[in-house]
Amino acid sequence: MDQNNLFEIGLGLAAPWKVVRSGLEECSAQSKILYVDIDFENGSKFPCPCCEKPCAVYDSEVKRWRHMNFWQHATYLSARVPRVECPEHKVRQVEVPWARAESGFTLMFEALVMALVKEMAVSAVGALVGEHDTRLWRMVRHYVGEAHAAQDWSEIAAVAIDETATRKGQRYATVVVEIDLERRREARLLFMTPERTAASVGQFVETMDAHGASAQQVRLAAIDMSAAYQKGVAEHLPQAKVVFDPFHVMKLAGEAVDGVRRELRAQGADVKGAMWALRGNWQNLKQEQRELRLSLCARHKAIGRSIALRESLQDTWQWPGPASAALHLKGWCSWAARSRLAPFQKLARTIKAHWDGILAFYPNRVTSAAIEAINGIIQTARRRARGFRNFLNLQTICYWIAGRLTLPIPSPFPHPI
Closest CB 49 distance from Zn ion, rounded Å = 8
CB-wise, 101 or 323, nearer to Zn ion?
101
**Non-local CB neighbours of 19 within 8 Å, separated by 6+ positions:** 4, 5, 7, 8, 11, 13, 36, 37, 38
Closest CB 19 distance from Zn ion, rounded Å = 28
Q: How many CB atoms lie within 10 A of CB 152?
A: 9
Q: Which of 36-44, 48-56, 144-152, 184-192 is the region at the interface with Zn ion (rule: CB under 5 A)?
A: 48-56
CB-wise, 2 or 88, nearer to Zn ion?
88
Q: State the DSSP code for 16.
A: T
Judged by CB under 5 A, the number of residues near Zn ion is 6
Closest CB 50 distance from Zn ion, rounded Å = 4
Residue 89 touches Zn ion, criterion: CB under 5 A: yes
- SS3 (DSSP) at 389: coil
Determine which residue in the list 6, 9, 24, 50 makes contact with Zn ion, applying CB under 5 A.
50
CB-wise, 48 or 99, nearer to Zn ion?
48
Q: Which of 1-9, 11-19, 86-94, 137-145 is the region at the interface with Zn ion (rule: CB under 5 A)?
A: 86-94
Does the N-terminal peptide bond of residue 194 adopt cis geometry, omega within 30 degrees of 0? no
CB-wise, 9 or 50, nearer to Zn ion?
50
CB-wise, 51 or 308, nearer to Zn ion?
51
Q: Which of 65-73, 80-88, 228-236, 409-417 is the region at the interface with Zn ion (rule: CB under 5 A)?
A: 80-88
CB-wise, 87 or 169, nearer to Zn ion?
87
Q: At what angle do helices 322-338 and 301-314 cross, to 10 degrees?
A: 170
Closest CB 46 distance from Zn ion, rounded Å = 11
Closest CB 48 distance from Zn ion, rounded Å = 3
Asked whether 104 and 60 are in contact (CB, 8 A), the reply is no
Closest CB 60 distance from Zn ion, rounded Å = 18
Q: State the DSSP code for 280.
A: S
The H or E element containing residue 34 is strand 32-40
Determine which residue in the list 41, 88, 102, 152 makes contact with Zn ion, applying CB under 5 A.
88
Q: State the DSSP code for 267.
A: T
CB-wise, 50 or 337, nearer to Zn ion?
50
139/137 Cα distance (integer angstroms):
5
Give me the residues paired with residue 85 across strands: 91
Determine which residue in the list 11, 38, 57, 86 makes contact with Zn ion, applying CB under 5 A.
86
Count of residues in the chain: 417
Closest CB 367 distance from Zn ion, rounded Å = 56
Q: Which of 69-77, 84-92, 164-172, 216-224 is the region at the interface with Zn ion (rule: CB under 5 A)?
A: 84-92
Distances (CA, A) of 110 to 99, 200, 335, 351: 9, 33, 61, 51
**Non-local CB neighbours of 358 within 8 Å, separated by 6+ positions:** 244, 249, 329, 351
90/88 Cα distance (integer angstroms):
6
CB-wise, 86 or 249, nearer to Zn ion?
86
Residue 48 touches Zn ion, criterion: CB under 5 A: yes
Asked whether 48 and 92 are in contact (CB, 8 A), the reply is yes
Closest CB 47 distance from Zn ion, rounded Å = 8
Closest CB 93 distance from Zn ion, rounded Å = 12
Backbone Cα Rg of the chain: 30
Residue 51 touches Zn ion, criterion: CB under 5 A: yes
Asked whether 161 and 199 are in contact (CB, 8 A), the reply is no
CB-wise, 82 or 403, nearer to Zn ion?
82
Q: Which of 89-97, 120-128, 223-231, 342-350 is the region at the interface with Zn ion (rule: CB under 5 A)?
A: 89-97
Centroid of chain to Cα 16: 42
CB-wise, 88 or 102, nearer to Zn ion?
88
Closest CB 83 distance from Zn ion, rounded Å = 12
261/275 Cα distance (integer angstroms):
8
CB-wise, 48 or 333, nearer to Zn ion?
48
**What is the torsional sign of CA 94, 100, 104, 105?**
negative
Say if residue 262 is exposed, middle or buried (CB neighbours under 10 Å; 0-12, 13-18, 19+).
Answer: middle
Q: Under rule CB under 5 A, which residues in 97-116 are in contact with Zn ion?
A: none
Q: Under rule CB under 5 A, which residues in 183-242 are in contact with Zn ion?
A: none
Residue 181 touches Zn ion, criterion: CB under 5 A: no
Residues at the contact surface with Zn ion, assessed by CB under 5 A: 48, 50-51, 86, 88-89
